[in-house]
Amino acid sequence: MDFRTLRKYVRDHPDANEFLERQTQDALDQSHSKLIAAAPLAVERLIDVINDENNRGYVVVQAVESLFQIIDRGITDRDNAAHIKQIKESLNALEGGRVVEV
């Protein structure tokens, strides 16, 4: 579909925006699923690059930096999720009138 036709259709039918947003989110979800499925292989390749004695130093250094960034991001994301859960529980307790220890 030509973008001008799509733009006109969205302008004439406001509910089309919601449909397009759902389609976009579905496409992103499918992409993330594929990336997650490929992650173990990607990690193996990264480790192979690090362990390959034939690689130049700067390649290995970059791979090691990437590895530590991935690990750090995972730890940070897990910690953030735990803090968000704790904040949600505190908010729910406050809304319910219970006493919360902060």
Q: Degrees (nearest 5) of the Cα angle 32, 62, 33? A: 10
For residue 84, the 8-state DSSP code is H
Full DSSP string of 35-75 = HHHHHHHHHHHHHHHHH-TTS-HHHHHHHHHHHHHHHHHHH
Q: What is the pLDDT of residues 71-89, one digit of tens each?
A: 999 999 999 999 999 998 8
pTM for this model (two decimals): 0.58
Structure tokens at 38: 């490929």
Mean pLDDT over residues 6-35, rounded? 89
